Structure 1
């Protein structure tokens, strides 16, 4: 008697019509290697042409220290960083120096987007950078930008500085008057005479002398403090932390990266074309 195998739901197995194995993958690349090579060469040609025709750009960078009056920055670095993003912050001379006077949509917008200001969180310093067609061009642009910052911060410093100088002049005038009065007092002829329980004029003169002497000492101390506050480094304009850094090597275009990206793109395009071809053929 023959055994009959009945198909039941438990022993039915679904077998895919096609199963990709290592041999199929290798064969796939063999069949399409010409397409992959051709696509890669075309992308490399396009990428190499782009890298050769794109003008080289050189970057200059600078670190600005805020203008200060009496040891206090005239503005917060984060505020300056935001101001440098405003198109109307810059002068026409800066647009010419940065060669963006004809840039679209506007010279100010293009320059503000290229400077990329960054405020230092731990010090009153703002970093800026600019890419030009040569190291000198990039450096000239930053020099002009720094000049604009210096003018604007100078305008902020002026009223504060004028107030400090006025206070200093007032103290110097009071000191001169106190010293003049002290010189008129007859210190050598002072005699202490007590009559009817009252202090003599000499006692009053001594009290006046001691008061003026103390006042003069206090005025001199205040004047000295004011003079120190108004002298560098407590009071100064916008300065560079270090000289503008403008290396001689270009930063754009990155030819090695362009070639590598072109090769990868060529391989991917070739594979996509082969996959699409295989789908349509099936």
Structure 2
């Protein structure tokens, strides 16, 4: 067994002998943690779940007003973020603006809508909530502009189909009267036959128009066509997100114990070296 190896019992003796240095190292770290936790500015984090808007689309195409990946890129664009801050009356170089840009976190949820989990921090719960709501409002404005044309085209298509359906139904009424002969003359019978054939074609056209009208109405329903919006209200916890007092104090105590033990071991080693040097000088005196 080598004498210079440090075992648990030896370490305990060292800490007991050099308790002042151990305590000094621990107190230095605890004082630093105390000063940081009382001077660091509190930050609150708001979380919002954004549902991407949907527009009437052709079968086989993505009905989302904007793909999920593009929404994520847009939310991180500096011009977009600057516009959000400008709407709140915050300058681009203000401390609040820097906190907003630095704290934005995005978590895509492609199998839940898709949704975007959006988190941002503020100096107060109200400011964090305001940041999140303003971001969603700005995204709504952008998406409303993108939705305008496909929505208008679908509405125009529905109006045209409705007009064609009314015209076809009116024509069917006329053909129904013509297909019913009022006499027994050959001319009337021939006209009724032609009208009957046309009536069959008109009935098929009416069925097709009604089907198209129903599909367009379904696509324009609220569960298929909707604006970009918040799935739920913005959530802000009561406690601040930063500084994390439990984590900071836990790490501080752990680091303080380590520093105190290191200081005690170094002090003990210096003391032993000094005693050895004195003993050596006395031996050779």
Q: TM-score, normalised by structure 1?
A: 0.81
Selected match of 1:97 from 70, 79, 88 = 88
**Matched residue of 2:129: which SS?**
helix
Residue 246 of structure 1 pairs with residue 236 of structure 2: yes
Q: Which moved more, 1:19-28 or 1:168-177?
A: 19-28
Query: Which position in structure 1 is the counterpart of 2:209?
Result: 219
**Whole-angstrom distance in 2 between the partners of 1:22 and 1:53:** 38
| 1:70 equivalenced with 2:56 (yes/no) | yes
**Separation of aligned partners in 2, 1:219 and 1:245:** 47
- Report the CA distance shift for 1:240/1:264 in structure 2 as closer, same or farther (over 3 A): same
- Contact 2:100-2:122 at 8 Å conserved across structures: no
CA distance in 2, matches of 1:80, 1:276: 57
Match of 1:170 in 2: 160
| Alignment equivalent of 2:105, drawn from 105, 116, 131 | 116
Q: Which runs of 5+ in 2 are unaligned?
A: 58-62, 274-285
Rate the CA distance shift 1:238–1:17 in 2: closer, same or farther, 3 A: closer
TM-score (norm 2): 0.80
- Output aligned runs, 1:67-216, within 5 Å: 67-70=53-56, 72-95=63-86, 97=88, 101-103=92-94, 107=97, 111-123=100-112, 124-185=114-175, 187=177, 190-191=180-181, 200-216=190-206
- Match for residue 46 of structure 1 among 12, 28, 32: 32
5+ long unaligned stretches in structure 1: 1-14
Alignment of 1:254-269 (within 5 A): 254-269=244-259
Task: State how far apart, in whole Å, the 1-side matches of 2:243 and 2:45 are.
Answer: 12
Distance 2:121 2:91 in 1: 12
Cα-to-partner distance string for 1:194-242 (whole Å, 9 max, x where unaligned): 969xx71210011112221221222122112201211202101012111
Q: Report which of the two has the higher share of helix.
A: 2
Residue 19 of structure 2 is aligned to residue 33 of structure 1:
yes
User: What is the distance in 1 between the residues matched to 2:218 and 2:64?
Assistant: 16
- Number of matched pairs: 264
Q: CA deviation at 1:154?
A: 1.8
Which residue of 2 is the match for residue 11 of structure 1?
none
Cα distance change, pair 177–96 in 1 and its aligned pair in 2 (3 A): closer
> Given that residues 63 and 126 in structure 1 are in contact (C-alpha distance below 8 angstroms), is that contact kept between their aligned partners in structure 2?
yes
Q: 1:267: how far off? A: 2.2
Q: 1:168 to 1:96 in 2, by over 3 A?
A: closer
Per-residue Cα deviation, 1:246-271 (whole angstroms, up to 9, x for no partner)? 22222222223222222222222233
Deviates more, 1:114-123 or 1:171-180: 171-180
Give yes or no for contact 1:98–1:137 (8 Å, CA) kept in 2: no
Whole-angstrom distance in 1 between the partners of 2:89 and 2:119: 12
Please say which of residues 174-183 and 32-41 is displaced more in the overlay.
174-183
CA RMSD of aligned residues (A): 2.9
Asked whether the equivalents of residues 29 and 256 of structure 2 are also in contact (C-alpha less than 8 Å), the reply is yes
Q: Residue 60 of structure 2 aligns with which residue?
A: none
1:150: how far off? 1.0
